[in-house]
């Protein structure tokens, strides 16, 4: 067994950026232990994606033509199993997405592969691949190895591996997809609810305000601060309930989850369970509150106890 | 006050159902004997005690009882609870209190002055620092603390409303500019220090002085000419700045100064005219919200290319019905939502906006006290929990509309529903059997506040499904 196989993912004609993250992870592994990297594109017209996946470090791109572009787990399961049988890779890498949840485990069971999901780090210890994933609601990182497994299939967490931008010079080959009687039919796409003026779920830097703002007129200065910092403004439920900010800015259980957020500044937010449901996963939470006992401090990496208006003014003066 | 027999029924029901959340609500109103019957339910497990000790809705009476628990962690949670009453804090800070509990009491806004004075702060630096940040700490204590507190804690003292001129003068001697800035911002800052602060090399000190409501007109005039834009911006907010000075500031090269000026409560007409044409959209946004701005300028701002400027006008109380009517037809939903929130919305605009499906507009219509019953019924039937909650938050919503929300799938909505004045006692009684414990608690609390009994215990026999779901 040798080589790393990455399965590309796409939807409605666009490559999922997570594919290039998986490719980057594969190239990292390749550097640790010399082995070729192949990227398989399973699509009605695989050529549509060749240029995008052809980045530095990729040795081969495998075209796998299938009858439809809409994702079907049976089709992918059969195609990836055929790829694994043909290329005998040591590692198969997939993005950890709703699509791969539908077939990754089935492929692993079918091939007798080692398998781990939502992996965010990998390394070799001698010949053994060790994958790291979270456990106990992100409280622990656990390392997994796969003794006795010739092939290991991993799904990779998003926004962990930096995509490679330099173009590559990969060879292109083809593999015939096995015929599959798919058990499902793709009927169409249902558009998600309109995100409003801004999609906070995709924002990387958020500044959110809560009940501590006190008055509608005070909201403006935090809009101005967020603007000056280059952050996206969000809010807790009472602010949106009062109509002081659009519903699309509401973070929390009945609002949105800030999936991609890296830094979250919570100003005047006490930290209700409902609000924290939408942001507690953010790695860098900075809480500003006059109440030192506010629940928000229990999940904050940095906490500032003080007058939110004064602190906001001070921040503004440093922008 | 709830009649005695009604209260007895409430207690009997809570006991019969062994429901800790009903017990917690009843406990607050119950007499000593009844509390004895409720306590075994209320304190049935460690988990329940912990839950109530940190629940934001926990009544002070329950916290008082929990303060007597032998477990240190429970007592600490009570000491940290914002609703803990002064006498309970006094008890918690008594003999045998652990350092963490002492720190929590020292920081607590309800802590009695004499308790703060008697705290062992010399032995415990954490207690000392917590006292420095407590606005109830008396002057004598602050003086003693200032002798040995570290810099961070000194800033708390400089912020205390009880700090007098003498103490502030001592703190002013610090080389730390931020501590001096706090002193310069204090209402009790002595004139001599204000004069010195005006010449301080640190802009932060001059800025905080400019923001001090006690700063004289002379001081503000001096600071209006400051080289630092942040200082001029702070000074322009001063109420005593004369009108003639404001005219020049409307042309200040710093947008920060002009933005701040646009927020001033009183502005001469010429300055308003100038700021209304400012190239910086934030200046026009602030002006659009300014209550001193009158119709001709508001009308111009209502036609501004920037959406947020128009939204600002829609929220200005000085906006006329004609202007509101115009803004109700704005292409941006966020602007229309601003109109829809207004209790003085013209009838025609209300009718038009009532048909909209945009979530912000519909939510605002749901909260508007003038919205028609049929429209409220439609919004209350929405699949969007936020929109349904808008109707619950509408104090003018009629009972028949609210009744349709008694089984709202989002528990928080049902909790908020219990606070609505139009909901009848019978409705609240039904909600005391809600599957969600917080709803049951809130419903019974609301009933007790109204002085109404819950339904008789005999009628509640079939409620086993709600028994202690925790």
B385 to chain A nearest CA, in Å? 7
Q: Which candidate in A243, A256, A317 is best for mutational testing of the B interface (most B CBs within 10 A)?
A: A243
Residue B466: its pLDDT value, please?
29
The CA distances from residue A67 to A21, A43, A44, A70, in Å, are 27, 8, 6, 9
List all residues 6 or more positions away from B321 whose beta carbon is below 8 Å from its beta carbon.
B344, B346
Residue B56: its pLDDT value, please?
86
Q: How far is CA B48 from the centre of its chain?
A: 28
Cβ of A220 within 8 Å of Cβ of B259? The answer is no
The DSSP call for residue B173 is T
Residue A40: its pLDDT value, please?
98
Cβ of A224 within 8 Å of Cβ of B282? The answer is yes
* Cβ–Cβ < 8 Å for B186, B168: yes
- Closest CB to B385: pick one of A254, A305, A317: A254
Cβ of B390 within 8 Å of Cβ of A196? The answer is no
Q: How far is CA B175 from the centre of its chain?
A: 35
- Closest CB to A241: pick one of B80, B259, B393: B393
Q: What is the mean pLDDT of chain B?
A: 90
A204 to chain B nearest CA, in Å? 23
Domains and CATH numbers, chain A: 4-174 (3.40.50.620), 200-317 (3.40.50.1220)
Instruction: Calculate ∠ Cα B413-B418-B422, nearest 5°.
Output: 110
Return d(Cα B329, Cα B337) in angstroms, integer: 11
Cβ of A317 within 8 Å of Cβ of B107? The answer is no
Residue B192: its pLDDT value, please?
94
Which tokens sit at B200? Answer: 């301080």
Mark the ranges of chain A whose per-residue pLDDT is less than 70. Answer: 137-139, 191-197
Least Cα distance to A96 among A144, A6, A157 occurs for A157
* Cβ–Cβ < 8 Å for B302, B331: no
- Closest CB to B363: pick one of A247, A274, A293: A247
Least Cα distance to A153 among A73, A243, A84, A68 occurs for A84
pLDDT in tens, B223-272: 999 999 999 999 998 878 887 788 888 889 999 999 999 999 889 999 99
Cβ of A216 within 8 Å of Cβ of B312? The answer is no
Look-up of token digits 């115009």: B326
B80 to chain A nearest CA, in Å? 6
Residue B431: its pLDDT value, please?
94
Q: How far is CA A167 from the centre of its chain?
A: 23
Cβ of A224 within 8 Å of Cβ of B360? The answer is no
Return d(Cα A40, Cα A64) in angstroms, integer: 7
Quick count: other Cβ atoms within 10 Å of Cβ B399?
13
Average pLDDT, stretch B426-436?
92
More confident residue, B342 or B11: B342
Exposed/middle/buried for residue A282 (C-beta within 10 Å: 0-12, 13-18, 19+): buried
Ramachandran bin of A88, using left for φ above 0, alpha for ψ from -120 to 50, beta for the remaining angles: left
pLDDT in tens, B157-202: 999 999 999 999 999 999 999 999 999 999 999 999 999 999 999 9
Q: What are phi and psi of B360, to 5 degrees?
A: -70, -40
B461 to chain A nearest CA, in Å? 33
3-state SS of chain A? CCCEEEECCEECCEECHHHHHHHHHHHHHHHHCCCCEEEEEEECCCHHHHHHHCECCCCEEEEEECCCCCCCHHHHHHHHHHHHHHHCCCEEEEECCHHHHCCHHHHHHHHCCEEEEEEEEEEEECCEEEEEEEECCCCEEEEEECCCCCCEEEEECCCCCCCCCCECCCEEEECCCCCCCCCCCCCCCCCCCCCCCCCHHHCCEEEEECHHHCCHHHHHHHHHHHHHHCCEEEECHHHHHCCCCCHHHEECCCCECCCCCCEEEEECCCCCHHHHCCCCCCCEEEEEECCCCCHHHHCCCEEEECCHHHHHHHHHHCC
| Interface residues of chain B, partner chain A, Cβ below 8 Å | 80-82, 104, 107, 133, 204, 207, 230, 259, 282, 285-286, 289, 308, 312, 315, 334, 337-338, 341, 359-360, 363-364, 367, 385-386, 389-390, 393, 410, 412
Cβ of A241 within 8 Å of Cβ of B282? The answer is no
Q: Which residues of B touch A238 (CB under 8 A)?
A: none
Q: Which candidate in B334, B384, B415, B417 is best for mutational testing of the A interface (most A CBs within 10 A)?
A: B334
Quick count: other Cβ atoms within 10 Å of Cβ A125?
9
More confident residue, B304 or B467: B304
Which tokens sit at B428? Answer: 């609240």
Any bridge partners for residue A143, and if so which?
A: A132
Longest CA span, chain A: 67
A219 to chain B nearest CA, in Å? 11
Residue B12: its pLDDT value, please?
87
Cβ of A243 within 8 Å of Cβ of B285? The answer is no
What is the number of alpha carbons within 13 Å of residue A255 lying toward its C-beta?
Answer: 32
Residue B1: its pLDDT value, please?
54
The model's pTM is 0.73
Instruction: Calculate ∠ Cα A287-B210-B156, nearest 5°.
Output: 40
Any bridge partners for residue A119, and if so which?
A: A133, A156
Q: Which residues of A touch B207 (CB under 8 A)?
A: 317
Return d(Cα B190, Cα B167) in angstroms, integer: 10
pLDDT in tens, B120-167: 999 999 999 999 999 999 999 999 999 999 999 999 999 999 999 999
Residue B464: its pLDDT value, please?
31
Return d(Cα B240, Cα B169) in angstroms, integer: 25
Residue of A nearest to B56 (CA): A272
A264 to chain B nearest CA, in Å? 23
pLDDT-derived band of residue B285, with 50, 70 and 90 as boundaries? very high
Average pLDDT, stretch B277-296?
94
The DSSP call for residue B456 is P
Q: Does A217 touch chain B (CB under 8 A)?
A: yes
Return d(Cα B444, Cα B431) in angstroms, integer: 8
pLDDT in tens, A252-261: 887 888 888 9
Give the three-class secondary structure for B370: coil
The domain segmentation of chain B, as residue ranges, is 45-162, 164-235, 250-319
Cβ of A220 within 8 Å of Cβ of B338? The answer is no
Return d(Cα A170, Cα A162) in angstroms, integer: 20
Instruction: Calculate ∠ Cα B63-B65-B71, nearest 5°.
Output: 90
- Closest CB to A246: pick one of B104, B289, B334: B334
Look-up of token digits 């398998």: A115
pLDDT in tens, B355-405: 999 999 999 999 999 999 999 999 999 999 999 999 999 999 999 999 999
- Between A and B, how many residue pairs show a Cβ–Cβ distance under 8 A? 58
**Pairing relationship of beta strands A4-7 and A60-65 according to DSSP bridges:** unpaired
Q: Which residues of B touch A277 (CB under 8 A)?
A: none
- Closest CB to A243: pick one of B107, B230, B363: B363
The DSSP call for residue B212 is -
Q: Does A216 touch chain B (CB under 8 A)?
A: yes
Least Cα distance to A116 among A68, A149, A78 occurs for A149
Q: Which of residues 230-269 of A touch B (CB under 8 A)?
A: 240-241, 243, 246-248, 250, 253-255
CA torsion angle for B114, B117, B123, B126 (degrees, to 10)?
Answer: 90
Orientation angle between helical segments B125-132 and B151-159, nearest 10 degrees? 30
Q: Is the pLDDT of residue B463 over 70?
A: no
Residue B454: its pLDDT value, please?
43
- Closest CB to B315: pick one of A216, A254, A314: A216
Cβ of B412 within 8 Å of Cβ of A274? The answer is yes
Return d(Cα A202, Cα B420) in angstroms, integer: 36
Q: Does A110 touch chain B (CB under 8 A)?
A: no
List all residues 6 or more positions away from B355 whose beta carbon is below 8 Å from its beta carbon.
none
């Amino acid at each position: 067994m040798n080589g790393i196989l990455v399965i590309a993912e796409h939807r409605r004609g666009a490559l999922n950026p997570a594919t290039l993250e998986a490719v980057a992870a594969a190239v990292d592994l390749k550097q640790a232990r010399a082995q070729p990297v192949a990227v398989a594109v399973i699509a009605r017209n695989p050529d549509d994606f060749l240029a995008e996946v052809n980045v530095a470090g990729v040795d081969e791109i495998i075209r796998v033509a299938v009858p439809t572009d809409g994702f079907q787990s049976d089709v992918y399961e059969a195609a990836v199993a055929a790829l694994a049988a043909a290329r005998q890779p040591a590692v198969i890498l997939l993005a950890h997405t709703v699509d791969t949840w539908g077939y990754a485990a089935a492929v692993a069971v079918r091939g007798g592969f080692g398998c781990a999901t939502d992996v965010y780090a990998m390394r070799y210890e001698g010949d053994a691949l060790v994958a790291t994933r979270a456990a106990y609601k992100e409280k622990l990182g656990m390392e997994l190895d796969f003794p006795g497994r010739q092939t290991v299939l991993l799904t990779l967490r998003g926004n962990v591996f930096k995509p490679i931008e330099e173009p590559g010079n990969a060879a292109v080959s083809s593999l015939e997809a096995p015929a599959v009687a798919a058990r499902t039919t793709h009927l169409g796409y249902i558009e998600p609810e309109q995100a409003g003026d801004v999609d906070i779920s995709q924002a990387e830097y958020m500044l959110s305000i809560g009940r501590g703002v006190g008055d509608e007129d005070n909201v403006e200065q935090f809009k101005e601060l967020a603007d000056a910092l280059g952050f996206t403004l969000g809010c807790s439920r009472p602010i949106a309930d009062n109509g002081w900010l659009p519903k699309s800015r509401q973070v929390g259980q009945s609002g949105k989850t800030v999936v991609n957020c890296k830094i979250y500044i919570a100003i005047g937010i006490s930290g209700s369970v409902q609000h924290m449901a939408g942001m507690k996963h953010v790695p860098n939470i900075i809480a500003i509150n006059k109440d030192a006992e506010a629940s928000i401090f229990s999940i904050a990496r940095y906490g500032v106890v003080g007058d939110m208006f004064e602190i906001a003014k001070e921040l503004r003066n440093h922008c | 006050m709830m009649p005695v027999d009604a209260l007895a029924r409430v207690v009997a029901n809570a006991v019969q159902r062994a429901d800790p959340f009903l017990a917690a609500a009843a406990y607050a109103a119950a007499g000593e004997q009844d509390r004895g019957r409720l306590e075994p339910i209320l304190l049935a497990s460690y988990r329940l005690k912990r839950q109530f000790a940190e629940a934001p809705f926990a009544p002070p009476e329950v916290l008082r009882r929990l303060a007597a628990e032998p477990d240190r962690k429970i007592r600490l949670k009570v000491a940290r609870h914002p609703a803990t009453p002064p006498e309970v804090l006094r008890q918690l800070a008594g003999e045998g209190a652990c350092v963490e509990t002492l720190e929590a009491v020292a920081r607590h806004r309800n802590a009695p002055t004499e308790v703060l004075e008697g705290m062992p702060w010399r032995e415990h630096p954490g207690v000392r620092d917590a006292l420095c940040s407590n606005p109830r700490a008396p002057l004598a204590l602050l003086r003693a603390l200032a002798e040995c507190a570290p810099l961070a804690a000194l800033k708390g003292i400089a912020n205390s409303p009880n700090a007098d001129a003498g103490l502030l003068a001592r703190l002013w001697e610090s080389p730390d500019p931020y501590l001096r800035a706090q002193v310069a911002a204090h209402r009790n800052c002595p004139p001599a220090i204000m004069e010195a602060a005006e010449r301080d090399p640190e802009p932060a000190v001059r800025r905080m002085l400019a923001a001090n409501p006690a700063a004289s007109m002379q001081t503000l005039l001096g600071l209006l000419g400051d080289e630092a834009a942040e200082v001029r911006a702070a000074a322009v907010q001063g109420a005593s700045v004369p009108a003639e000075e404001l005219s020049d500031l409307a042309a200040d090269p710093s947008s920060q100064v002009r933005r701040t000026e646009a927020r001033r409560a009183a502005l001469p007409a010429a300055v308003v005219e100038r700021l209304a044409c400012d190239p910086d959209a934030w200046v026009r946004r602030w002006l659009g919200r300014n209550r001193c701005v009158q119709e001709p300028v508001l009308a111009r701002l209502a036609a501004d290319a920037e959406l947020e400027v128009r939204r600002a006008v829609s929220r200005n109380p000085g906006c006329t019905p004609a202007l509101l009517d115009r803004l109700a037809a704005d292409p941006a939903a966020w602007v229309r939502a601003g109109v829809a929130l207004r209790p003085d919305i013209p009838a025609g605009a209300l009718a038009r906006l009532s048909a909209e499906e945009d979530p912000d507009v519909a939510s605002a219509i749901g909260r508007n006290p003038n919205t028609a019953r049929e429209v409220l019924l439609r919004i209350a039937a929405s699949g969007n929990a936020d929109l349904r909650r808008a109707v619950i938050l509408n104090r003018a919503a009629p009972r028949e509309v609210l009744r349709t929300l008694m089984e709202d799938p989002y528990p928080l909505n049902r909790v908020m529903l219990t606070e609505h004045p139009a909901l009848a006692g019978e409705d609240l009684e039904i909600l005391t059997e809600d599957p969600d414990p917080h709803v049951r608690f809130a419903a019974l609390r609301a009933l007790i506040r109204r002085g109404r009994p819950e339904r008789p215990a005999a009628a509640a026999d079939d409620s086993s499904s709600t028994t202690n779901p925790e």
